[in-house]
Amino acid sequence: MPATSGPRGYMDQMSPTYTPAPQGTTRRQLARERAISPPSSDKRWKLVDVAMRRRGHAADALIETLHTVQNCFGYLDEPSLEYVANSLGLPLSKVYGVATFYHLFMLKPQGKHTCVVCTGTACYIKGAFDLLEGMRAKYDVTTGETTDDRFLSLLSARCLGTCGLAPAAVLDGEIMGKLTAAELTDEIARLS
């Protein structure tokens, strides 16, 4: 069961329609003047537009806007990143940089289930690598990937704040501690 990984090919591209704001032009004015169309007629884009409008299309609305896009659509694809970049008057490279810096932003459709393995120091010492290796062996998936059948997405975190439970993981929002690789994969196998 091969797995897919996130796109990395357009990091340094600039948004095709990006132009710096002329002096004295507010971002709100600029956004209005540009009259940028969303990537599709999907009504969820209205929610994204409202989020950006509420913040006056300011550059510092970027993270909140990306959260809104992800909440609406489940992940951030290239057209959505371009739309946000154009709407906020930012270079695509900056938007893409933020989207890839924060692990909670997804660049691919996610699996039905999500497993976050902690790779913080305490968990690493106690066997986080074994958990990841067990996931790779059983599900052919590594950190940041989703299985091709979209059953499972595997993520990592620096510290879950439960170091006493190391090695720890979060499966569909439920924290599990003092795990072995077999316990984790067995738990996942019980999911439907």
121 contacts ligand FES (rule: CB under 6 A): yes
166 contacts ligand FES (rule: CB under 6 A): yes
Cα separation of 116 and 110, whole Å? 13
Residue 19, both tokens: 């132009």
CB 166 within 8 A of CB 129: no
Q: What are phi and psi of 115, to 5 degrees?
A: -120, 125
CB of residue 187 to ligand FES, shortest distance in Å: 17
162 contacts ligand FES (rule: CB under 6 A): yes
Cα separation of 49 and 181, whole Å? 43
184 contacts ligand FES (rule: CB under 6 A): no
Q: Would strands 113-118 and 174-176 be described as parallel, antiparallel, or unpaired?
A: unpaired
Q: Which of 3, 66, 107, 123 binds ligand FES (CB under 6 A)?
A: 123
CB 92 within 8 A of CB 10: yes
Instruction: Tell me the one-letter amino acid at 121.
Output: T
Q: Which of 120, 134, 147, 155 binds ligand FES (CB under 6 A)?
A: 120
CB of residue 180 to ligand FES, shortest distance in Å: 15
Which residue do the tokens 């371009």 mark?
A: 82
CB of residue 118 to ligand FES, shortest distance in Å: 3
CB of residue 122 to ligand FES, shortest distance in Å: 4
122 contacts ligand FES (rule: CB under 6 A): yes
H or E element: which one contains 115? strand 113-118
The length of the chain, given as a count of residues: 192
The smaller minimum CB distance to ligand FES, of residues 95 and 165, is found at 165
How many residues interact with ligand FES (rule CB under 6 A)? 11
Task: Tell me which residues touch ligand FES (CB under 6 A).
Answer: 118, 120-123, 159-160, 162-163, 166, 168
